[in-house]
Structure formats: structure tokens, C-alpha cells
Amino acid sequence: MSAVDVSQCAACGKGGDGLKACTACKLVKYCNVTCQKAHRPKHKKECKKRASEIFDEALFKTPPPRDDCPICFLPLSLNDQYQVCCGKTVCVGCIYGDMMARSSLDFDCPFCRTPATTSENGLLEGTKKRVEAGDVNAMLKLGCQYYKGHSGLPQDYNKALELWHRAAKLGCAKSHYSIANAYAQGVGVEKDMKKAKHHWELGAIGGDDTPRYNLGVIEVNAGNTNRAMKHFMIAAEFGCDDSLKEIQRGFSDGHVTKDDFEKALRAHKEFKDEVQSDQRDAVDAVRRIL
């Protein structure tokens, strides 16, 4: 690619402080929409290539670590509990430990000590109050309740998607996962795997590691092995067992180097060790019995 003078409009050559960069590629600038449209035929191919590169840079960037439990400060898992009373997400180990310490089966909040609300209506009203306060996790939770028709709510896919999209716009990466699943399953919306993939990718870019395995499978099925393994490597670093199995299969098939396979094994074990606690192990033991 030849050097571009970004101090001048790429179409008419005029300079000035009012030039605006192409929002897709950031490579060139224009003085107005008319110039941008006039230059589009010449710029389209280069723009699309660079925009794709920018997107992949964001997509495969190592995501930030998961949020910690506010009590034990260990990374949260996928099965932890959002507390409607204070808006905190507390790990199941700390909830279990608090119940054992109190010798009670009441789900009082172990963080803010708000007494347990046993009625569905009370929990629902609490969630709605958190939504009104702008809590994106409450929006995600309420959307799931509408989607499934739980907590005394009617099943309302439109309301669910409205809440998920609202949360996603406010930065809730996990809401993209719910939106993607709706499109992937064709429940409440017409099935559309292209849109499903798009929202899984937006969630991954936002820092949610849970869509990575699904994205890896999509890339495997499309024959994009290298892209698939990148997703699996990131997911394995966050303890995804299925992704580690795919990496092992990739190593056996010659698609993954020995160094990368060993790196994935170490990262996977380190994450598992980091999130482990006696209280969480006790919860897992109870679940296996039940």
C-alpha cells in the first residue's frame, strides 16, 4: 500500500482541520460525505481489507481476566449468583460457605447481608429496580426471565431481546451471548447463523470468553483451522475443557505446534487452580450427588 497524506482529503485533495477519517479503516480522510462517496470505488477494496484486519486485531486480542468474587476475590465462574439486592455477583462457594456458617438454608446475601427474598414477586421487583438504576447485569437477568417465561412473567421474546440489546449497548458483553444464542436456535427470531456469529464475536471483543468455543467450531466447519485454534487457545486459558480437547486434536492433526499445545495445557491448569477453593469443591460435590 502506498503512503497516504492524511492531511488532505483523499478525494479532492483539499486540506484543513475539518477532515474526518474513514470510520471503517481509519486510513484516509475526507472533507465531506460527497467526497467519501466519490472516492468509494477506488478505496473500497483497500478499506475492506484494513477494516477486516482491525476487526481481527480486536477479536483475537487476549481478553481481560474475569471479574473476581467480591468476597473471596477468586475469579468468578459461569454458575455464580447475581444478587438483586446489591447488584453484586457472588461465587457459589461463598454463598455455600455463608449458609453453612449460619446453619441456615436461607439465601441471605453474603455480601450486603440483605435477608433472602423468597417470593418470586419480590425477586422480580428487585430486578426491575436494578434495571431502572441502569444495572446491565439486571437487564441481562430480566431478559432471560422474559425469554423463558420465568418468575411469573409471560414469555416475551421481543422484551427479552430489547433488554439484551439495551444491556449490550451499555457495555454488557454477556448480553451478546444471549442474543447470539437466540439467533443460533431460531427461538424468538428467525434463525440466522451469520447474526449469531456476529454477536458471539462482539461478546468476545467485549471481554466475554464464553463464546470462544462456539466461534472455534464455526471456523472449523468453515475450514478456517488457524482462526479456530486461536479461539480455542483463548478459551482454554479460561478453563474451557472442550476447547482444550480441540487443541489436543489439532496437535494430533498437525495444526497446533508442540509449544502451543503445552502452553494451552499450562494455562488451562493454572486457571483451574486459580478458581479452585474448598467451598467451591463442596458445591460441586453436592451437585454431583443431586
Question: For every residue of 73-95, which 3-state class applies, written as one string?
Answer: CCECCCCCEECCCCCCEECHHHH
- The pLDDT of residue 4 is 67
Q: Rounded mean pLDDT of 49-76?
A: 94
Q: Which residues, listed in sequence order, are joined to residue 58 by a DSSP beta bridge?
A: none
Q: Is the pLDDT of residue 276 over 50?
A: yes
Q: Which residues pair with 15 in a beta bridge?
A: 8
Alpha helices in 5-109 (DSSP H): 33-59, 92-102
Lowest mean pLDDT among 25-29, 76-80, 206-210: 76-80
**pLDDT band at residue 116 under the 50/70/90 scheme:** confident
When pLDDT is averaged across residues 223-240 and rounded to a whole number, the result is: 96
Question: Do strands 81-82 and 89-90 pair parallel, antiparallel, or not at all (unpaired)?
Answer: antiparallel
User: For 20-29, what is the mean pLDDT?
Assistant: 93
Q: How confident is the model at residue 155 (pLDDT cuts 50, 70, 90)?
A: very high
Q: What is the pLDDT of residue 37?
A: 95
pLDDT at position 151:
87
For the cut 50, the answer to whether the pLDDT of residue 1 exceeds it is no
The mean pLDDT value for 137-165 works out to: 96
pLDDT of residue 287: 85
* The pLDDT value given to residue 62: 87
- Cβ-Cβ contacts under 8 Å for 35 (sequence gap 6 or more): 9, 10, 11, 12
Mean pLDDT of the region 74-98 = 92
Report angle CA 246, 223, 244 to the nearest 5 degrees. Answer: 10
Q: At 89, phi and psi to the nearest 5?
A: -105, 120
In sequence order, the β-bridge partners of residue 81 are 90
Average pLDDT in the 238-254 region? Answer: 96
pTM to 2 decimals?
0.86
pLDDT at 120 over 90: no
**What is the mean pLDDT of the segment spanning 159-188?**
96
Classify residue 165 by burial, with Cβ atoms within 10 Å: 0-12, 13-18, 19+.
middle
Q: How far apart are CA 268 and CA 248, in angstroms?
A: 12
Looking at the DSSP bridge assignments, the partners of residue 68 are 75
Report the pLDDT value the prediction gives residue 3, as an integer from 0 to 100. Answer: 54
